[in-house]
């Protein structure tokens, strides 16, 4: 069994950290509705829905810790009151359940460590047990790449699926494959033999996506796609779609 296993039907995974069990989610993007309204898209806040969805996963998986794999925030600068309140209430609810919280800092997380009550790593990430965690917007630290499994977010990977009559839909996906040491050779980082790279789907369904099976789409992370060898795409329900570029 892998150290990182997706929760069936959900954009979340459970990670075995050795001394702890963690629930891992990427790209929560609290307060995204306000940003969308500024772009002319009118949406009511889904803050309560997001919070309860995460807390239900905590109940379902019984973790010691929640690891936010970057972009807990939406606003890159100082967040407004609603966004900040969403995060503070979520962290309070986790603390009430005795669940610790760690944020692997992403490009949207600004100076969150100055006001949010949780552990915050820098953008290069952290390794907990044999699992490395990084957001993916920058090069991971060498100790992250030395994990048995390396988890990243940032990409919001999705596929566009078409039916027989020309209809299409977009589905969030997991990407999983071998971690290629060649992509990090110039970074003086060591990659373990047999190490795996897992690219997480976005927890927040309102954010944009990298359509990994659409020609012309480019990855955002500086180490992708080179760092993902033989990458397979999986729907949230676990359906294996095959190599992501061939879907």
**What is the CATH classification number for the domain harbouring 25?**
3.60.21
Give me the sign of the Cα torsion angle 129, 131, 136, 142: positive
pLDDT bucket at 74, cuts 50 / 70 / 90: confident
pLDDT bucket at 99, cuts 50 / 70 / 90: very high
Rounded Cα distance between 138 and 13, Å, is: 22
Residue 49 has pLDDT above 80, yes or no: yes
Residue 189 has pLDDT above 90, yes or no: no
Q: How many domains does the chain have?
A: 1
Instruction: Please report how the helices 47-61 and 81-96 are oriented relative to each other, as an axis angle in degrees rounded to 10.
Output: 20
| pLDDT, average across residues 217-245 | 94
Residues 132/197, Cβ–Cβ less than 8 Å: no
pLDDT bucket at 163, cuts 50 / 70 / 90: confident
Residue 227 has pLDDT above 60, yes or no: yes
Rounded Cα distance between 174 and 200, Å, is: 5
| pLDDT, average across residues 14-22 | 97
Q: For residue 75, what pLDDT is reported? A: 76
Name the average pLDDT for the chain.
91
Tokens 């500086």 belong to 222
Sheet holding 119-121, edge to edge: 4-6, 13-16, 21-25, 65-68, 100-104, 119-121
Cβ count within 10 A of residue 112: 20
Q: What token pair was written down for 53?
A: 């969805």
* HEC letters along 79-130: CCHHHHHHHHHHHHHHHHCCCEEEEECCCCCCCHHHCCCCEEECCCCEEECC
Residue 144 has pLDDT above 60, yes or no: yes
Residue 66 has pLDDT above 80, yes or no: yes
Q: For residue 1, what pLDDT is reported? A: 57
Please give the residue range of the domain that contains residue 191: 4-246
Q: What token pair was written down for 151?
A: 């988890």
pLDDT bucket at 79, cuts 50 / 70 / 90: confident
Q: For residue 37, what pLDDT is reported? A: 67
**What size, in residues, is the chain?**
247
Alpha-carbon Rg for the chain in angstroms? 17
Q: What token pair was written down for 150?
A: 């390396």
What is the model's pTM? Answer: 0.94
pLDDT bucket at 168, cuts 50 / 70 / 90: confident
Residues 112/181, Cβ–Cβ less than 8 Å: no
| pLDDT, average across residues 186-201 | 91
3-state secondary structure of 23: strand
Torsion of CA 6, 104, 79, 89, to 10 degrees: 60
Residue in 160, 55, 72 with CA at minimum distance from that of residue 117: 72
| pLDDT, average across residues 93-119 | 95
Q: For residue 69, what pLDDT is reported? A: 98
Residue 42 has pLDDT above 70, yes or no: no
């Amino acid at each position: 069994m892998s150290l990182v296993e997706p929760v069936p039907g959900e954009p979340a995974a459970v990670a075995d950290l050795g001394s702890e069990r963690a629930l891992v989610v990427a790209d929560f993007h609290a307060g995204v509705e306000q940003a969308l309204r500024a772009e002319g898209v009118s949406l009511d806040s889904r803050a309560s829905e997001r919070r309860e969805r995460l807390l239900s996963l905590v109940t379902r998986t019984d973790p010691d810790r929640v690891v936010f794999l970057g972009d807990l925030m939406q606003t890159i600068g100082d967040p407004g009151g609603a966004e900040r309140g969403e995060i503070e209430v979520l962290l309070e609810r986790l603390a009430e359940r005795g669940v610790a919280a760690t944020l692997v800092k992403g490009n949207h997380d600004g100076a969150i460590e100055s006001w949010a009550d949780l552990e915050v790593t820098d953008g290069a990430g952290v390794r907990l047990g044999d699992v490395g965690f990084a957001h993916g917007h920058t090069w991971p630290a060498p100790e992250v790449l030395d994990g048995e499994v390396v988890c990243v977010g940032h990409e919001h990977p999705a596929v566009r699926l078409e039916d027989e009559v020309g209809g299409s839909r977009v589905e969030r996906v997991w990407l999983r494959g071998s971690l290629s040491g060649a992509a990090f050779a110039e970074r003086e980082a060591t990659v373990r033999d047999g190490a795996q790279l897992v690219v997480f789907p976005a927890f927040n369904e309102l954010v944009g996506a990298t359509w990994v099976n659409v020609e012309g789409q480019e990855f955002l992370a500086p180490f992708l796609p080179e760092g993902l060898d033989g990458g397979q795409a999986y729907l949230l329900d676990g359906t294996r779609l095959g190599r992501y570029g061939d879907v």
